[in-house]
Structure 1
Amino acid sequence: MHSGLGNKLLVALCVMTMAASHAAPLLVAHRAGTGDAPENTLLAVQSALANGADMLWITVQMTSDGVPVLYRPADVSALTEGKGALNSFSFLQLAELNAGHTFSRLDAAENKVFPYREQPVRIPTLQAALQVIPKSVPILLDMKQLPAAPLVASVAKVLDEEKAWDRVRIYSTEKEILTLLADYREARVFESRDATRQRLSSVALSGSCETPPAAGAWVGMELERTVTVVEKFTLGEGRSEVKARWWTPAAVSCFKTNPEVKIIVFGVDSSAAYQAAEKLGVDHVMSDSPIKMKAIRAAAR
């Protein structure tokens, strides 16, 4: 049989098999539940776990004096009353800032309020988070900060001290971080975003499944993502934005060709998105609000 036709038939067979039976996806709290509490704080961790999160996605950067802390934006002004690049602050300086300064919600009268300006919450260290999070709760650690080498070394030191390598799986969009982590035999990392995107594109454009992820791989991508389509014409080009649905039954079945491959779908924050992800048979959904997802998951049962 022609290899291309064989791959397409295999994908179709896997789609039918997966449609027959699959478990409900587990819930990953994005930045420990950025929609419910100041993100990447111990308060958010507590809220996420109280509302049924199965895993925690937390983001780590490093201070100027080499302390890994939980914080996502490059500048502290995004979430705190401070200003400047996070890696220009020492940990003691960061400890003075309120990680909940910009967190807001609507009150009963639909007015925006800032509940944590009078009740400050602090930016935690990675070490403190590992000591607070129950060892039974898997942690997905997002590493983005550059330069890569000092960040990787500082995180590895904490994971060594806390004997936490087996509790953590690491994600990064930075190729250099993933390359450096390859030197740590204990490190468990996601497949690179570029590799995942390429596999999804191949299935979408050709319907083939030439190179599925290796057995045991963890992969992640948004359920939907706005992409720019560029069309070339003789007298110029046309550009249009479309909302692409990356994950399809064919894509999921391709990624599941080899055993123990785990798929995390990002950006699942509505009932419709959850139902779509559940129907696809993915392993995990990542949401900003475990509180909101608790009700959605209960209604789906």
Structure 2
Amino acid sequence: MIVAHRGGAADFPENTLLAIDNALRNNVDMLWLTVQLSSDDVPVLYRPTDLSANTQGSGAVAGQTWAQLQQLNAGWQFTQTAADGQVTYPYRTRVVSLPSLQQALAVIPATTPIILDMKALPAAPQANAVARVLEQNHAWKRVLIYSTDASYQQAFTQYPQARLFESRDGTRDRLANVALAHSCNPAPQAGSWVAFEYQRKVELVETFTLGEARSPVNAKLWTPQAIDCFQSKGTSSILAIGVNSDDDYRAAACLKIDAVLVDSPRTMRDVKQRLERPLQCDSHSHRGD
């Protein structure tokens, strides 16, 4: 399955209704949207810590009211590069608003699942505000909740209808144990959703009495052994983050990873359509038949 990262951050200004519309037109299977909270408790789609990263404003989302955020242009910093190398800012003369979660739910078909990536802290106020919106829109079954911060796992425990990814810490620890200790303990529960980067720069730290040594590694932790571990108690749904090339998409498909998080729905739709059927995989890149 193709999951549009922030609606498709490479194609259009991220986390905007424009990006969402493009992703839907390119037949994505799921949408990944990033949520923060305005000062008056409105869940807003925005990722960076400072508004200056994407807009002509500055400061944190939490420092602005929803009315103030609506005055900003979410496409202000979005660039396009022409064939001759010239860089332009196409949305500085075409305002693209920061949408609320409510606005996004209104335009996304109920049949398209949504992953909400929780970015703001503390977790409890945002979890409560998001829960209110999902409740009002009868949207719990459409949504999965993800965060790199484990406090969101606790914040959503009061909402039994919430569907949560396994904590990133749990997923990372299991992947590291499979890679380094050849151990699968514990395996995730059947029916879990798990997510981690397809490849990620990490640092291996070895501690000595007189100091430590560090080894940088570009780690590919999703291996056939890791997939077997994650599926050993029953079917888990695996999302590989950061799959943006033909080779990585094919490798993820050969591993029988369930979904990939992509920056360009337009590009990856074409990659997926070009793959041979049945998929040709070498003996080291896939699990089972």
1:98 is aligned to: 73
- Letter paired with 1:256: Q
Name the CA distance, whole Å, in 1 between partners of 2:142 and 2:72: 29
Post-superposition shift, 1:296? 1.1
Q: Secondary structure at the match of 1:221?
A: strand
What's the counterpart of residue 195 of structure 2? 220
The count of aligned residue pairs is: 276
Task: Return the alpha-carbon distance in structure 2 between the equivalents of residues 108 and 272 of structure 1.
Answer: 24
Give the match for residue 114 of structure 1: 89
Matching residue within 42, 46, 50 for 1:71: 46
Q: Which runs of 5+ in 2 are unaligned?
A: 277-289
Alpha-carbon distance between aligned partners in 2 of 1:233 and 1:260, rounded to the nearest angstrom: 40
Q: Distance in 2 between matches of 1:50 and 1:292?
A: 12
Letter of the 2:3 counterpart: V
1:171 aligns with 2:135: no
* Counterpart for residue 294 of structure 1: 269
Which of these residues, 31, 34, 40, is aligned with residue 56 of structure 1?
A: 31
Name which of structure 1's ranges 190-199 and 232-241 shifts more when overlaid on structure 2: 232-241
Q: Does 1:150 align with 2:150?
A: no
In the TM superposition, what are the counterparts of 1:221-300 in structure 2 within 5 Å? 221-232=196-207, 236-300=211-275
Q: Which of 1 and 2 has higher RCO (CA within 8 Å, sep 6+)?
A: 1
What CA deviation, in whole Å up to 9, does each residue of 1:170-191 have, x standing for no partner?
Answer: 0011222110101101100000
Q: 1:195 to 1:110 in 2, by over 3 A?
A: same
Task: State the shift of 1:148 in Å.
Answer: 1.4
In the other structure, the counterpart of 1:88 is: 63
Q: Residue 15 of structure 2 is aligned with which of 40, 45, 50?
A: 40
> AA paired with 2:121?
L
CA 1:177/1:234 → structure 2, altered by over 3 Å: closer, same or farther? closer
**Post-superposition offset of 1:108:** 3.1
Write the deviation string for residues 37-80 of structure 1: whole angstroms up to 9, x where unpaired.
00000000000111121100001111001111100111110100
Task: Label 1:234 to 1:68 Cα distance change in 2 as closer, same or farther (>3 A).
Answer: closer
**In structure 2, C-alpha distance between the alignment counterparts of 1:217 and 1:108, rounded to whole Å:** 44
Correspondence list, 1:202-221, <5 A: 202-221=177-196
> Does 2:170 match 1:195?
yes
SS at match of 2:4: strand
RMSD (Å), alpha carbons: 1.2
Distance 1:209 1:147 in 2: 32
The unaligned stretches of length 5 or more in structure 1 are 1-25
Q: Distance in 2 between matches of 1:108 and 1:230?
A: 43
Greater displacement, 200-209 / 124-133: 200-209
The separation in 1 between residues aligned to 2:181 and 2:151, in whole angstroms, is: 30
Note if contact 2:191-2:236 (Cα within 8 Å) is conserved in structure 1: yes
**2:150 alignment partner AA:** K
Separation in 2 of the partners of 1:200 and 1:47?
Answer: 34
Q: Which of 102, 112, 126 is 1:127 aligned to? A: 102
List, as ranges, runs of 4+ consecutive aligned residues in structure 1 with deviation greater than 3 Å: 231-237
Counterpart code for 2:165: F
Letter in 2 for 1:49: L
Deviation at 1:232, TM superposition (A): 4.1
Deviations 1:195-239 (A, max 9, x none): 001111111122222311001100000011111122345654332
Q: Secondary structure at the match of 2:98?
A: coil
**Could you tell me which residue of structure 2 aligns to residue 15 of structure 1?**
none
Aligned to 2:287: none
Higher share in helix: 1
| TM-score calculated relative to the size of structure 1 | 0.89
Cα distance, 1:259 vs structure 2: 2.5
Q: Return the offset for 1:258.
A: 2.4
Deviation at 1:102, TM superposition (A): 0.4
Tell me the distance in 1 between the aligned counterparts of 2:46 and 2:119.
Answer: 10
The equivalent of 1:27 in structure 2 is: 2
What is the SS of the residue equivalent to 1:250?
Answer: helix
